[in-house]
A and B are shown apart, each in its own frame.
Chain A
Amino acid sequence: MLNKLLRHEWKETWKIPALIAAVTLALSAACALYFYFAKSPAPEVELNVGNLVLFTGYLLFVCSIAMILSVYLAIRFYKNLYTDEGYLMHTLPVKPWMLIFSKTVVAAAWLWISNLLLLCLLMPVAVLAIPKLAYFEPGELSLVYQVFTAALGGGIPEILFYLFPCLIVNCVFSALTYYASISLGQLFARHKVLASILCYLGISSLISTVTSFFFLPGMTSVIITRADEAEQFFSLVMPSFMRSVYISSFFSEILLSAVLFFLSEYIMRKCLNLD
């Protein structure tokens, strides 16, 4: 039954995310072409405002498109399980955990594809765009790229760890955060959508606060204790810090995902009240 649920969920979900991916791809290709043929700024030009606006617009657009995917997946979960369509889904001979699991797998897969696509498209566009935004002295650009690789952990194994286990867990966690918020919203007698949004904000704020509580002291301590290694900050200190962030996030998000999954399943199994 789980296989069938997964197959049907994928078939019913793929169109909008595929369209979003296609739009992102087309826009990135257009931007890459423009920046490839755009003139590099002369040494006396500090900033090419037109190119900067275009690049910022591109970044905002592709990031908002990625957000649209999240909203679409959340709305699909709500409509499919908690509105009229729920009459079909909740009368299928399957257990509630199977419904949540199939939706989580498909949503996480699309979120991961979207994030990966975004990363893979942003990098070449950024590589082409950054030299056209302002005049850079030789060697300055490599520092920009170093910051970027440092943020992903520093080297190829670290980047692969970020892209695969870490990002996959993060996508599962994101999907389950939406689903748990929507399920919690159903416990309210009225204004269930508003309640779901408030629950999402509440869960996100709580998790951010707790995360900051654990990570900020570590980050501050790294900056203070290794301040004398300023010249190695982007080659050693930041990658090392980011690695520890990814590893801690990896395990904490697995734990939180399990909590959110069981919370959603409990609500669906014990407190279901379709209007």
Chain B
Amino acid sequence: MNEMHTGSLVSIRNLSKKYGKHTALKDVSLDIPRGRIIGLLGPNGSGKTTLIKLMNGLLTPGKGQILIDGNLPGVETKACVSYLPERTYLPPAIRVKQLLSYFTDFYADFDRQKALAMLSSLQISPDASLKTLSKGTKEKVQLIMVMSRKAQLYILDEPIAGVDPAARDYILKTIIQDYSEEASILLSTHLISDIEPILDDVIFLKDGEITLTSSVEDIRNTYGKSVDAYFREVFSC
């Protein structure tokens, strides 16, 4: 077990990442406690997806370290992190029921019954092939798979960007219900007003640097504004 900030689920220290000459993340240090819903907010190109991909071991850091529950990204962290990418990442030829078997086989914390119940409530047939589903429905299937795990950390990259407003409520309800008090959710989005009611904390990222980490309550008390309004003020062009 590596040394980490006491009580933190995630501890990031001096993390940097470059793509060629472009610096995507600059010396980022961050702690994510347990039992919180955290919004990772920032304009396009601020480094949100890069940070998320680094946490999931999909990118190799240039410098610095990420510890999740005391482990570097690897087999142990992948077993306890449930990740929803911002893109459709499931094989198109696969059927929903095959996907259920896949998640059941590989993730010990996957709750098949919960996934089936959520599919049923969204009227998605387990026999449906993913290639026959609309983009929005595919995103719902992905979210159902991810949220049906009893993970310690859920990392959701733009979970509501591609779905209709009616489905957003269902998704947000899905995100906040049934997750363990010990688990945390890191949620990246542009649609701040939609997710603001469920957030505990926010992290503002700009040009690869963290400009603010605060609780939602503190922002409201200190600046007398909603997170959405404060975000617009900070990142106004």
Nearest to B56 among chain A residues (CB) is: A91
A12 contact set on B, CB distance < 8 A: 91, 93-94
CB distance from B164 to the nearest CB of A (A): 23
With contact pairs A85-B90, A93-B75 given, residues A274 and B106 touching in the complex (Cβ less than 8 Å): no
Is A87 close to B, CB under 8 A? yes
CB distance from A94 to the nearest CB of B (A): 7
Nearest to B102 among chain A residues (CB) is: A8
With contact pairs A93-B79, A189-B20, A272-B59 given, residues A87 and B106 touching in the complex (Cβ less than 8 Å): no
- Report the bound CA distance from A86 to B57 in whole Å: 11
B20 contact set on A, CB distance < 8 A: 189
Does A272 lie within 8 Å of B79, measured CB to CB? no
Nearest to A90 among chain B residues (CB) is: B58
CB distance from A43 to the nearest CB of B (A): 57
Does A93 lie within 8 Å of B106, measured CB to CB? yes
With contact pairs A84-B88, A90-B58, A92-B78 given, residues A8 and B105 touching in the complex (Cβ less than 8 Å): yes
B107 contact set on A, CB distance < 8 A: 93
Is B39 close to A, CB under 8 A? no
With contact pairs A93-B78, A94-B75, A95-B75 given, residues A87 and B60 touching in the complex (Cβ less than 8 Å): no
Kindly count the residue-residue contacts between A and B in the assembled complex, taking CB atoms under 8 Å apart: 62
A70-87 contact mask (Cβ, 8 Å, vs B): 1 or 0: 000000000010001111
Which residues of A in the span 238-275 have a Cβ within 8 Å of any Cβ on B? 270-274
A8 contact set on B, CB distance < 8 A: 102, 105
Is A1 close to B, CB under 8 A? yes
CB distance from B66 to the nearest CB of A (A): 14
A39 contact set on B, CB distance < 8 A: none
Does B58 lie within 8 Å of A91, measured CB to CB? yes
Is A4 close to B, CB under 8 A? yes
Does A88 lie within 8 Å of B90, measured CB to CB? yes
Which residues of A in the span 183-218 have a Cβ within 8 Å of any Cβ on B? 189
B79 contact set on A, CB distance < 8 A: 93
CB distance from B53 to the nearest CB of A (A): 7
B208 contact set on A, CB distance < 8 A: none
A4 contact set on B, CB distance < 8 A: 105-106
Does A87 lie within 8 Å of B78, measured CB to CB? no
Nearest to A270 among chain B residues (CB) is: B60
A87-105 contact mask (Cβ, 8 Å, vs B): 1 or 0: 1101111110000000000
Does A87 lie within 8 Å of B105, measured CB to CB? no
Nearest to B107 among chain A residues (CB) is: A93
Does A274 lie within 8 Å of B90, measured CB to CB? no
By a beta-carbon cutoff of 8 Å, the part of chain A in contact with chain B is: 1, 4, 8, 12, 80, 84-88, 90-95, 189, 270-274
Q: A4-B106, A93-B76 are in contact. List 12 more A-B contacts (CB 8 A).
A: A1-B106, A8-B105, A84-B89, A86-B58, A87-B85, A88-B89, A88-B91, A90-B56, A91-B78, A270-B60, A272-B57, A272-B58
